[in-house]
Structure 1
Amino acid sequence: MAQIQKKSAQQTLLTALFMLFMSAVAADTVEQVTTSDGGLALSSHGGLVASGIIAGIALIVIGFICNYFGYKLVKVLVFLAGFCVVGGLVLYAEYKIRAPREDEKGRQIWYLAIAAVFGLIGGGISMFLFKVGVALVGALGGFALATWILSMKSGGLIHSDVGRILFIVALIIVGMLAALFLQTPAIVVSSSIWGSYALFVGIDCFARTGFQNTALDFLNTPGAVYETSPKVYAMIACMAVSALLGILVQFWLIRKRKGHHPYGNLA
Structure 2
Amino acid sequence: MPVMKRDVGSDVLQHGQDDFESITVQTSIFGIILISIGLLYTFFGIRFFKITVFLVGFYIGAILAWIVLTNVEPSDGYGNSSGIIYLAVTLVTGLILGSIAVCCSDIAIYLLGALGGYSLALFVLSWSDNGVIQSKNGRIIFIIVLTLLGAILTFVFEDAIIILSTALIGAYSIIFGIDLFAHTGFTESVQEFLDGNHQVVYSVDTKVYLMLAGVLALFIIGTIFQWRVHRGEFGRRRAAKSKTAPSPAYSTPPENITEKKKKGWTLQFKK
Normalised to the residue count of structure 1, the TM-score between the two structures is: 0.76
Counterpart-to-counterpart distance in 1, 2:214 and 2:129:
18
Q: Aligned partners of 1:131 and 1:225: how far apart in 2?
A: 40
One-letter amino acid of the counterpart of residue 44, structure 2: F
Residue of 236, 240, 247 corresponding to 1:263: 236
Pairwise CA RMSD of aligned residues? 2.8
The structure 2 residue matched to 1:164, chosen from 118, 139, 143, is: 139
* Structure 2 match to 1:29: 13
Change (3 A) 1:241 1:191: same
Matched, 1:78 2:62: no
- Bigger radius of gyration, 1 or 2? 2
Q: Is the partner of 2:173 in helix, strand or coil? A: helix
Q: TM-score, normalised by structure 2?
A: 0.75
Q: How does 1:222-237 map to 2 (within 5 A)?
A: 222-237=198-213
More strand by share: 2
- Letter of the 2:181 counterpart: F
The counterpart of 2:228, out of the listed 236, 241, 252, is 252
* Distance in 2 of aligned mates of 1:219 and 1:34: 22
Structure 2: distance between partners of 1:167 and 1:34: 34
What amino acid maps onto 1:227 in structure 2? S
After superposition, what is the alpha-carbon deviation per residue over 1:4-29, rounded to whole angstroms, capped at 9, x for unaligned?
Answer: xxxxxxxxxxxxxxxxxxxxx99963
Number of positions where the alignment pairs a residue of Structure 1 with one of Structure 2: 231
Higher helix share: 1
**Structure-2 change in CA distance of 1:225 and 1:81 (3 Å):** farther
How many percent of aligned residue pairs carry the same amino acid?
A: 31
| 1:103 to 1:150, Cα distance in 2 relative to 1, 3 A | closer
Q: What are the superposed Cα offsets for residues 14-72 of structure 1, whole Å, 9 maximum, x if unpaired?
A: xxxxxxxxxxx99963578465xxxx4x23xxxx3333333222211111111111111
Counterparts of 1:182-201 in structure 2, within 5 Å, are 182-201=157-176
Report matched runs for 1:117-136 at 5 Å.
Answer: 117-136=92-111
Structure 2: tracts of 5 or more residues without a match:
1-8, 242-271
Higher relative contact order (CA 8 A, sep 6+): 2
Name stretches of at least 5 consecutive residues in structure 1 with no aligned partner.
1-24
CA contact (8 A) 2:116 2:164 kept: yes
Change in Cα spacing, 1:118 to 1:100, as seen in structure 2 (3 Å) is farther
